[in-house]
Amino acid sequence: MSPVRNPEYWLRKKTYRRTGYPVASIAYYGPDDKFASKVVVGITLDEKAEGVAFIEKWFSTGADVRRDRAITQQILEFIEMHRVERVAMVDRIIGCPHEEGIDYPEGQWCPQCPFWANRDRWTGQLLS
């Protein structure tokens, strides 16, 4: 497929920009470090912003959201709608798709995702 029609290509291209606002942050979540069932995109409008101005979430139970072309296209449309200049994202799943304080009590590990219990979400390493 040509790069013109490949939304993944355009998302990756925006990750190479080092300056400019608005910025979109893309984060992938899943029950373990192999399957991403949720992607969250937050948009920060400028460097003085105290938080995220816009946020959108996509979910999947069957396909990994990182490889779902329809979801990737929707993400691209979302960031284009807000005229995002650059994209920040990591190359891994960074935690459980369930939300602390909403899906399970604050200060506890998610009972549905034991893989993430006692694990550093940035490195994937078990905590001592």
Dump pLDDT digits (tens) for 29-75: 999 999 999 999 999 999 888 889 999 999 999 999 999 999 999 99
Dump pLDDT digits (tens) for 66-82: 999 999 999 999 999 99
Dump pLDDT digits (tens) for 80-104: 999 999 999 988 999 999 999 999 9
Q: What is the pTM of this model?
A: 0.88
Q: CA 35 to CA 32: how far, in whole Å? A: 6
- The pLDDT assigned to 1 comes to 43
Q: CA 53 to CA 49: how far, in whole Å? A: 8
Spans of all domains in the chain: 3-99
**H or E, element range at 3:** none
- The pLDDT assigned to 5 comes to 66
Q: Which tokens is 3 given?
A: 């790069």
Please give the residue that has the higher pLDDT: either 5 or 55.
55
